Each structure stands twice: as C-alpha cells, then as structure tokens.
Structure 1
C-alpha cells in the first residue's frame, strides 16, 4: 500500500524512479527575438507623401494618427504648399447662417467639424446684428453695415446707395478686422454722380498670396452711378484704398441703365478669365469687369437667355461660355471675346443631355469652379395643384468642369441667394486674419 501511495503522489514533473539519470530534461521554449527597430521616414519624405494625398480629409486623418505626422503637417509652409496643389472642397453655403454639407456629401464630416468649431452666429463681431454678409472667400466673410430695420441676410443681401462700413472676419479663429473707410477725396468722385449701389467683394487670391502670406486679402468695390461705374480697391498688405478711373455708360440704352438701376441680376456675380461678370436679366447683356486691366465692358448675350439658370464659365483661351440649365438639357454657348476677334464673333450654340434630375432649377450662387443650385422636384404634388404642402427644397454643388452634381442640404426654406463656403477641415485651417 505504501508503494502505491508513493506512486500516486509523485509529482508529474519528476522523472520516474528507475529513469536513466543521464536522460536530459526537456528545455523550455526560447522567447522570440525582439523585433528589429523600423527606420522612420525623414520629415522631408513624409511631407512629399502627405502633399500627394488626394483630399484634405485624408490629410486630416493622417495628421491625427500620430504626433510625428502632426508635426509635419502643422507648419504654415506645409499648408501653403498643400493649398496651392489642392482646391478647397465645398463645405456648405452661407446666408444669414451657415448651412453645412449633409451626408452623403463627401464633405459632410469636415463641414460638421467646421460648424462645431466656428462661430457662424458671428457673436464676436461688434454689434453682430448690424452686419450683412456680402461675400465669402478663402475662409473669410465680408460684411457690410446695415440698419436694424433692413436685417441681416434679406433678399440680395444688403444694398446701399452710399459708402458703408466694412468688416472682414474669420469665423473659425473668431478674428475680425475693420476696413478703413474710403477716403473723402476718393469718394467725392462718385458721391455727386447719382450713386445707385455700392457693392464690395473679395478679389481672388494671387499666387503670391497663396505662397507667401495666407492672411493677406484684397477687396474690390464696384460703385454704380447714373452715368458711370467706378471701382475702388483695398489691399490688406498696405491697409489703403485706391481708385480706378471710372468708365462711362453713355453708349448704353436707357433700358440698360434702368436695368442697372434695378440691379437686375447684379446680385449674383460670376467669375471667368480674370473677369467678374453680372448678367443683366431681361436685357440680354453682360457687364464685365476685367480685374487685370480694371476695365468694364458690355457684351450682348444670346437672345432669350434665362438669367436665373445662366452661369458664366471659361470655355477655352480667350473664350467665354454661357451654361444655361434647362429642364432636361444643358445649353452651352461660347464666344471668343478677347484679343484676336475683338468680341465680334457670333455665339456658338450646342445642346447636350444632362444627368440632372427632373427639377425646377435656379442658380443662387457661384464661384470660379462651382455653382450653387436650388432645385425643387417637379414630381411634388405642390406643382400644378392647390396643395398647401411645402416641397423639399434641395441645394446642390455643381462642379462646372466635370458636370458633377452633389446634394448638400435639404430644407423647407427657399433661398434666393447665398454664398458658397469652401475651405479645409479645422485642423488644416490656420487663421486667415
């Protein structure tokens, strides 16, 4: 019995009693060798890789993945290079408030982050209720002073027949700068000429602005009078205004002057080939300001152009294009108007089917590359019936070059005019003021 007890209680790790003493014990498994340290890429190479990421959203995700990546992306020099290589995506549009792009628009995450980080109530402005948005560009918003009775964001924004105070602000950094008033000696040249309208807007950023100083900007103010148009320019680099010799309108018919006075179409600017353009609706004419020469010109439009659905686009060297959005077709007109032809060539017209839905369309905003479209589906019972139901009103970004249509926002509110807001995610947006 004792022998049986000894055998049962024997430790399983001990060799049996009559095992050969010379038999070696099994060795424990050796631990795996430590991984070889991976060589890190130099910052210069990482910078070149990040510059080649396809979108700003990809760069934002990469910059948040680790501290070393963020260190490469953070400098302003890198952001200037990235902005020069990548166009800013459309994040939404601005009216009396900001309307961020909604899902499934690809910019929806960045737009939501911007809406959360920025102050689009503009509470940081002095007397916030006394300003109306006039233009948006490069993350900046231009406001003009309005009376409380007019309210901010009314139809075609604020208008004025006199010089008004201006403010440029950055809603993300909550910074603003007051623009000094136009000097009296410059303003006197138009104040006694039947001043009809004072329209300020941003000048496009030059290549020097993009590469060197992201906080600099320029303003253009078009002053419409009874018999002339004047231009005033402001540069934030020097903080001063200068005027451009005015151009008479003596060659215009009384009907065109009346259209200018009524601001028919003048609330929506277009930009192409270095020119700001205003469609004179119902007049079949186009007012153009060449900002390189600071000269105005007026050209005839094709007959029966529909101003509300008409966009001015670039159509090749020295060629201007008109894109007219119909119900099921796109009518495209082109005309050589600069240099060799002197603007005498007739409009060339082509029609193409477009992939746009069967909507009632209206252009309510534009910049160099995108149109802001308002669309109402013709399938709604609201059309052609006595129904009191309000239809969904959809707002789209329409890329002119690719004819790509992307829905941004849906509401019941019908806006007549708004400003496209383009920019980068907050992490990639240094202060612009």
Structure 2
C-alpha cells in the first residue's frame, strides 16, 4: 500500500488524534463508520509510519465497555487495510480501578513492512531498540519501559474528582531522525456559565498550567531533547466571553436565577426588536445558539480570532493553518454528520502541535506543499462527538540534521 521506500520519496508519516469516547457508547452504529473513514485516510495518504492517539478509550462507563475496547483493538490489528503494517505497538491505559493513575488514553503505532530502519526508545535503559512484531500493553503502563505516562496532579482540577486527564510519551527513531510523540488530554470546561464570566476563562488557566507541566516534563534534562509532536484533545475553547459578546452584540441579556440558591441558572440573550427572538440560551451544559451555520461556513474561520489558548505557548508550540471546522461537540446521532450538539460552543479541541524543530521537519523546503495536509476525518458523517484530526507529511533523507539542531541547546547545557 505505501509502496517501496526510496530516499527521494521520503518516509510518509501520519499522525491522528481522536477522542473516541462516543464509539464505546454506541459501538453498533458509530464504530463501523469511524473505522471506514479512518481506513480511507490510511489508503489516501499511504503512510510508512502512523500514530493514532486516542482519548476516553472505553467511554464514560469503562467497566461496561471493556469488551468493546478489545474488539476495536483486534479490528485495527487484523483489518485487511492494515495487513502491510507488519509491526505495531498498542498502549492502552485500562487500569480504571486506579484513581491515581487512570487516564483512559490509548496510543497506537503502526509500521509498514517497507520501512526497515525504525527503533523505539526504552526510557529505563536509555537507549533505542529495534521494533519487531506486534505487541499490546495495558493494565500497568507505569512500569512499561517504552513509554512515560502521567496523570495530572489532583489539585490541578479539584472540582472533578474522577478526572482522567494526563499524557503518554513515546520516542521513535527512523532513518537519521528521532522525535517524541505525546498523547495528551487536558481539562474540559465544566460549566458554560463559569466559562463566560471572564476573559480568558478560569478553565483556560487550568489547561495552560497542565500543558506547561507536560512541556516541562518532555524537555527536562532526564533525556536528550528532541523534536516533539503533541497531539490529543487539548479541550481548547474559544474565548467564551468574547465570542458570546460578538454573536449577541445587539441582544439584551436576561438572567434567570435558581429559586432556592439564587445562583445564576441560565442566561437568555434576546433580540432587542424582531419579536424579542432568543439568539442564545446559555446554561451549565447548554449552548443553544440560533444559527449553527456560523460554525460551519468557511470552516468557522472568522471564529479563529477567539481561539487564543495556544498563543500563550507561541514560543514553544506551533501549528499548521487550521482549515477545518471546530472539531467538537458534534451530534452523536449517526444520521447527523455535520450537526453540532447544543451543549458547548463549538471549538477546535483536537489539535496536532509541534515544537520548532518538529515544524522544521514537517516543512522542509524540499517537501512539496501538497505533501503536508492538516485536516479532519469524516467531515460529512458521524464520527462521535469529536471529529478526528490528522497531519500527513514526509520526512526526507537528511532530515536528522534538523533534529540535531533541536538538541543542540540541550547538549551544550551541563548534564
């Protein structure tokens, strides 16, 4: 499928991030469609190496969904589409009984038979090892030497006792180039009403802190510093206060309070004239805006000015231009592929972010423009509440020089 590897052609890399929680709530309807669209992406881009980072593996009710997870993994490993990928590594955090460790993350890595020279890093032995065969790891990933996994400290998000947010890091070397791949899941917005109170919201501050924690961990002095790709569900949201003020600029606000506590229960924004039509109704878990087309037309690009959470890290993280609509929250109704749920303001939660040296790898001058694609999967069908997002590119021979430039600072620093 991926064809013979030649130096001129380079090594095709595909990175995919997918919050798959919905797939395990309704596997009958959603999983087949999801896998069909996913396989189509593999066949279109023909990668030699691809990484699938999943969040919320098993869905909300992990214990009940365990068997669905097993069948999902078996299908991925045995599908006809994947038969030329003769090596694989699957890491599933299935230890749901361990509150202090469980992240519900799943990281899948597949290697095409034509790719000869690929190694994975052993973090305990501190050296690269050849990748042979197909292996699946679950339960106690904490002691698996080929990855680093952490759940964020409990006090980062105290209002959500059972939060499963954290990250998994793996490290790979192919040809003359090595890099880190980090699967990440950051904290969500617990309440639309709290998110709207100030700009930036209290939740964006929590995400910023957690992302800083990850970046500090993957660039500390325990290991050589390499280019890194961080991809997952960042839960980045549009600046709620600013986007609502923009969408409802001519509306008047009515505040409804709960009779027993006097706390704000809902906000209703109405047109000043036009029969006082409701433009937006906002509750803790309701974002009911009158015109969803705003989020779909031109891929929602006018709203990107309110997508600000990444700007804090502009010196450390880079992203290719977004040319797809907000990736969340889509309807989970299998007949509604393009419809958003009225639960949250649509946002680009699912992203693929790059360190400066990783960006140099992707955007090498000899890479043709069209060989780099950053897009979503299944734009017209139901993929669950998140649309998966992918980045396809090629690493050309000699790209390792770029890696070495990324490490230079580290090597010059005292160990």
Using the size of structure 2 for normalisation, the TM-score is 0.33
- The structure with more strand, counted as a fraction of residues: 1
Using the size of structure 1 for normalisation, the TM-score is 0.32
